[in-house]
């Protein structure tokens, strides 16, 4: 069983020297000869994700949900590359992903995991598709009717109080992250419509914001507060935004501060990403907001996986949206930095970063698999640094992925004077990927 432990930093020395240290450790029992370690350095915030677009999310492809999780990250990375003048050509993934997703569209304009074989479209997935198609319009042709029909279907699911009802099933409920009730679903849909430049005066949006205003004072979890902060930021409601941002800070220190320091929980990644989006979507962007945003970015970078994604599905999509927006704001064309890595065993590596190689993935193998490594960055730009330790461990003695039973039958065919050999295979799976699978 392959294991990877990643240590990530975004170091921005700004003319001084910034230093980090990490101790590499291996478990007592590993597969002999399987351990290796490497250091990789990029001069671009999203360079690691850009290098691993096909590996950001280790999951099967083929259904309406999972196709979108491959489709959406491309949009945000392309937006970032375009805004920083680094875009050379649009991603081919967008066109194929768009065409693929149309296979899961119902006649009424909604979307579901298996399309018309499902009894109805799903509210959350339809909003996700609508939002993503709108974002992709700058790079490929998207039929406007596909966006409008999805929006019309969502409008028909709106209740009298302005909130949206949850309709249809998801194949994998983890897809929608922390969107788990009427309020968060409504906030997600309202934000999606606002990203499409829907006017707040339109009845569907005006009504949904009314639903959310009624819920603001009763929020008890950070995720909902962060999502609503982003929604009301896009809506331009300053007082409500300020009230929610303060609530996010209060809830953060009382509810999940320990969680944030211990593990990269999917909801924590999403929550921080929505807060980051809210900070960066507000104009004018104050130095205080930018400082707050920088602290969130540092936290997010530390919790990236080896490929530049995160621990689950929707958290990767939202985090890349937020990081791409931050990258566009903080991008510095004239930056120049150097990174030096040393181990207590005497190993030494040096990297130089400038505009000409900011997207170049620079990696070197590390010889000392145990001990302390120090990482130093100096210069005027930022460096995305990762030390990754890979190894394999033997599976538990009782670990079984699947059970295979074979039966062989021999029959004599009198008409052809031949013997037929028939093989019947019965496979039973006992282990299911935590990301789910659309395969039968």
CB 243 within 8 A of CB 216: yes
Q: Is the peptide bond before 284 cis (omega within 30 degrees of 0)?
A: yes
β-sheet bridge partners, residue 351: 339
Mean pLDDT of the chain: 85
Burial (Cβ within 10 Å: 0-12, 13-18, ≥19) of residue 107: exposed
pLDDT tens track for 17-64: 999 999 999 999 999 999 999 999 998 888 888 777 666 654 434 588
Q: Which helix (H) or strand (E) holds 40?
A: strand 36-42
Q: How many CB atoms lie within 10 A of CB 433?
A: 11
**Model-level pTM?**
0.79
Helices (H), ranges, 236-286: 238-251, 257-262, 266-280
d(CA 231, CA 164): 15
Instruction: Give 312 or 360, the one with higher predicted confidence.
Output: 360
DSSP-assigned states of every residue in 343-359: ETTS-EEEEEE-GGGTT
d(CA 363, CA 386): 9
pLDDT tens track for 371-385: 899 999 999 888 999
pLDDT for residue 59: 44
Domain with CATH 2.60.120.1540 in the chain: 2-43+339-392
Domain with CATH 1.50.10.20 in the chain: 47-330
Q: How many CB atoms lie within 10 A of CB 28?
A: 5
Q: Residue holding tokens 């620079």?
A: 362
Work out the average pLDDT over 117-138. Answer: 94
Q: Is pLDDT at 438 greater than 50 in this prediction?
A: no
DSSP-assigned states of every residue in 285-322: --HHHHHHHHHHHHHHHHT--TTS--SSSHHHHHHHHH
Work out the average pLDDT over 216-223. Answer: 87
CATH for 47-330, among 3.40.1190.20, 1.50.10.20, 1.10.1740.10, 1.10.486.10?
1.50.10.20
pLDDT for residue 426: 86
Secondary structure class of 409 (helix, strand, coil) = strand
Contacts of 420 (CB under 8 A, 6+ apart): 410, 411, 412, 413
pLDDT for residue 164: 97
- φ, ψ of residue 197 to 5 degrees: the values are 65, 30
Instruction: Give 103 or 65, the one with higher predicted confidence.
Output: 103
pLDDT tens track for 159-195: 999 999 999 988 777 777 788 899 999 999 999 999 9
pLDDT for residue 219: 87
CATH architecture of the domain 2-43+339-392 equals Sandwich (2.60)
pLDDT for residue 258: 37
pLDDT tens track for 384-436: 999 999 999 988 777 767 778 888 887 766 666 667 788 888 887 754 443 34
Give residue 168's region: left, alpha or beta (phi > 0; psi -120 to 50). left
The CA-CA-CA angle for residues 91, 179, 57, to 5°, reads 35
Secondary structure class of 24 (helix, strand, coil) = strand
Q: Which helix (H) or strand (E) holds 64?
A: helix 64-83
């Amino acid at each position: 069983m392959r294991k990877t432990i990643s240590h990530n930093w975004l170091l921005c020395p700004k003319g001084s020297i910034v230093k980090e240290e990490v101790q590499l450790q291996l478990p007592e029992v590993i597969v002999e000869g399987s351990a290796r370690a490497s250091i990789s350095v990029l001069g671009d915030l999203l360079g690691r994700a850009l290098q691993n677009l096909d590996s950001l999310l280790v999951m099967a492809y083929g259904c309406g949900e999972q196709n979108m999780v491959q489709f959406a990250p491309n949009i945000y990375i392309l937006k970032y590359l375009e805004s920083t003048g680094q875009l050379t050509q649009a991603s081919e993934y967008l066109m194929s992903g768009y065409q693929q997703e149309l296979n899961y569209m119902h006649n009424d304009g909604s979307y579901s995991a298996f399309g018309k074989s499902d009894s109805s479209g799903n509210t959350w997935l339809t909003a996700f598709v609508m939002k993503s198609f709108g974002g992709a319009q700058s790079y490929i042709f998207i039929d406007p009717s596909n966006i409008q029909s999805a929006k019309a279907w969502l409008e028909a699911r709106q209740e009298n109080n302005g909130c949206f009802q949850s309709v249809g099933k998801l194949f994998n409920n983890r897809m929608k992250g922390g969107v788990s009730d009427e309020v968060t679903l409504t906030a997600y849909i309202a934000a999606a419509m606002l990203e499409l430049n829907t006017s707040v005066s339109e009845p569907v949006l005006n009504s949904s914001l009314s639903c959310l205003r009624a819920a603001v004072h009763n929020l008890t979890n950070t995720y909902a507060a962060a999502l609503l902060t982003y929604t009301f930021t896009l809506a331009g409601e300053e007082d409500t935004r300020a009230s929610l941002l303060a609530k996010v800070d209060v809830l953060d220190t009382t509810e999940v501060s320990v969680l944030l320091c211990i593990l990269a929980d999917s909801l924590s990644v999403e929550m921080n990403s929505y807060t980051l989006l809210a900070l960066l979507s507000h104009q004018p962007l104050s130095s205080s907001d930018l400082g707050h945003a920088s602290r969130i970015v540092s936290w997010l970078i530390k919790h990236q996986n080896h490929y530049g994604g995160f621990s689950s599905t929707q958290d990767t999509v939202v985090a890349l949206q937020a990081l791409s927006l931050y990258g566009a704001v903080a991008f510095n064309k004239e930056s120049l930095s150097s990174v030096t890595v040393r181990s207590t065993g005497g190993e030494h590596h040096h990297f130089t970063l400038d505009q000409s190689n900011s997207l170049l993935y620079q990696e070197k193998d590390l010889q000392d698999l145990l001990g302390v490594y120090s990482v130093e960055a100096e210069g005027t730009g930022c460096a995305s640094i990762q030390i990754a330790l890979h190894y394999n461990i033997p599976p538990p003695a009782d670990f079984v992925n699947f059970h295979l039973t074979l039966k062989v039958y021999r029959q004599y065919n009198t008409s052809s004077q031949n013997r037929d050999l028939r093989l019947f295979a019965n496979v039973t799976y006992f282990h299911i990927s935590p990301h789910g699978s659309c395969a039968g």
